[in-house]
């Protein structure tokens, strides 16, 4: 049984995602497809357009066999931690043969060389990054500039033009692809990477002009009164599941009152313990919460050349969920992933689940209610963040039923 994996958000599922699944099935007609998917919050630090169970069903109805959850502490983190945890799930599952990811470039050999460079970062690159960060440049930009300078100076490691490097280090899917390759090397994984040239609109475009559109564009048009624009860019089954949220999307602004309450009830110094929230950014968010009513305004004020909008939004999610840096350090000691959580599985793919249960290096969690008897205290705390995230999402969605869905949802689907 050949098993191909995809790491994804499906926020929401669209025709570009369907194309990827179809290409995998062409390569391995008898194979199975599993995905590692973000839960209710996305990597840009925003609530997903619809809940994780609905998005899991979109995936199963479109050709995926089994869905595993990427814990929220990693799903709302930088590309490096996002990839390290997601690949960790696949590696520790013991069942994956191939990882397929979308890329804006055909230069897979160059990506492999860059991934080696990122995993074993030279001291000159590290020191240059620190220098650029001290000048107020964001980390992604600083890393790109430092790597390009290193390659130019050595002129041996990666024999390609600067323009190619800029493309590799600046396009969102290329960045994630590089991190996936780096993570595979970190785990010494036998999983083979396969980069699929993306057949979709540019990641950041908001135009929906044909059957292929970006998830960004679809999310943008969720608020419109022209659902047909979205419909043509999605499989019909996924669109039907998305219909209930068209015109009433869940946004980060819905957490404005919660964020203000969090800031009012907290001492600034206590917030420094939250993971991945630099002190300067923490200070900005804390004081702007007094001045501005909506989170969107607070985010606008905090966004700068040092802190990207996504960085600020992720910081807000971490503050709302009270994700402690000391906990993340403890999880890293466990190689990021101390358990694997099943979100959904086709009835016809129970053999995949059986194989997973047999070969996984870590416990498989199907119902969180039974996790306490399986997990140690540190591992349970990672799962607790996930349950807390579900409660926050349910509050933003004004859907109390979502709070209990972690315990009542039946993962086996037709």
Which residues contribute to the annotated binding site for ATP? 7-20, 102, 173, 198
Number of other CB atoms surrounding residue 351 within 10 Å: 11
Q: Which residues are annotated as a binding site?
A: 7-20, 102, 173, 198
> How far from 177 is each of 10, 80, 160, 347, CA to CA, in Å?
16, 10, 18, 31
Phi, psi of 340 (to 5 degrees): -125, 130
Whole-angstrom Cα distance, residue 242 to residue 254? 19
Number of other CB atoms surrounding residue 106 within 10 Å: 10
Nearest to 99 by CA among 12, 168, 183: 183
**Residue carrying structure tokens 């906990």:** 327
Question: What torsion, rounded to 10 degrees, do the Cα atoms 153, 154, 160, 162 define?
Answer: -20
Whole-angstrom Cα distance, residue 353 to residue 57? 17
Strands (E), 257-357: 340-346
Cβ-contact 249, 291 below 8 angstroms: no
Coil, strand or helix: which one is 113?
A: helix
DSSP secondary structure letters along 328-360 = HHHHHHTTS-S-EEEEEEEGGGHHHHHHHHHH-
Number of other CB atoms surrounding residue 1 within 10 Å: 11
> Strands 66-70 and 340-346, how do they pair?
antiparallel
């Amino acid at each position: 049984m050949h098993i191909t994996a995809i790491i994804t958000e499906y926020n929401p599922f669209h025709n570009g995602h369907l194309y990827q699944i179809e290409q995998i099935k062409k390569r391995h007609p008898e194979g199975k497809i599993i995905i590692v998917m973000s839960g209710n919050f996305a990597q840009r630090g925003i609530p997903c357009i619809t809940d994780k169970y609905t998005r899991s069903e979109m995936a199963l109805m479109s050709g995926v066999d089994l869905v595993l959850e990427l814990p929220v502490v990693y799903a709302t983190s930088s590309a490096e931690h996002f990839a390290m945890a997601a690949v960790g799930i696949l590696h520790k599952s013991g069942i994956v043969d191939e990882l397929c990811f979308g890329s804006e470039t055909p230069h897979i050999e160059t990506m492999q060389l860059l991934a080696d460079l990122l995993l074993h970062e030279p001291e000159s690159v590290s020191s240059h990054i620190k220098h650029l960060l001290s000048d107020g440049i964001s980390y992604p930009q600083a890393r790109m500039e430092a790597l390009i300078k290193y390659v130019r100076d050595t002129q041996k490691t990666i024999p390609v033009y600067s323009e190619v490097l800029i493309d590799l280090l600046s396009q969102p899917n290329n960045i994630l692809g590089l991190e996936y390759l780096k993570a595979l090397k970190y785990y010494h994984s036998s999983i083979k990477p396969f980069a699929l040239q993306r057949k979709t609109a540019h990641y950041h475009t908001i135009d929906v002009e044909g059957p292929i559109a970006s998830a960004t564009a679809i999310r943008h048009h969720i608020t419109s009164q022209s659902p047909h624009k979205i419909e043509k860019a999605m499989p019909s089954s996924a669109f039907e599941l998305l219909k209930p949220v068209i015109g009433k999307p869940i946004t980060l602004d819905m957490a404005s009152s919660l964020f203000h309450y969090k800031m009012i009830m907290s001492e600034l110094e206590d917030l420094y313990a939250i993971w991945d929230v630099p002190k300067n950014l923490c200070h900005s968010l804390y004081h702007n919460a007094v001045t501005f009513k909506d989170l969107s305004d607070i985010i606008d004020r905090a966004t700068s050349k040092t802190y990207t909008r996504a960085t600020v939004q992720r910081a807000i999610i971490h503050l709302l969920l009270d994700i402690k840096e000391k906990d993340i350090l403890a999880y890293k000691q466990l190689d990021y992933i101390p358990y694997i959580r099943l979100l959904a599985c086709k009835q016809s793919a129970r053999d995949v689940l059986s194989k997973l249960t047999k070969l996984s290096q870590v416990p498989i969690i199907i119902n969180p209610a039974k996790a306490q008897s399986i997990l140690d205290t540190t591992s349970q705390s990672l799962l607790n963040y996930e349950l807390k995230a579900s409660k926050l999402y349910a509050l933003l969605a004004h859907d109390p039923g979502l709070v209990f869905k972690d315990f009542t949802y039946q993962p086996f689907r037709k």
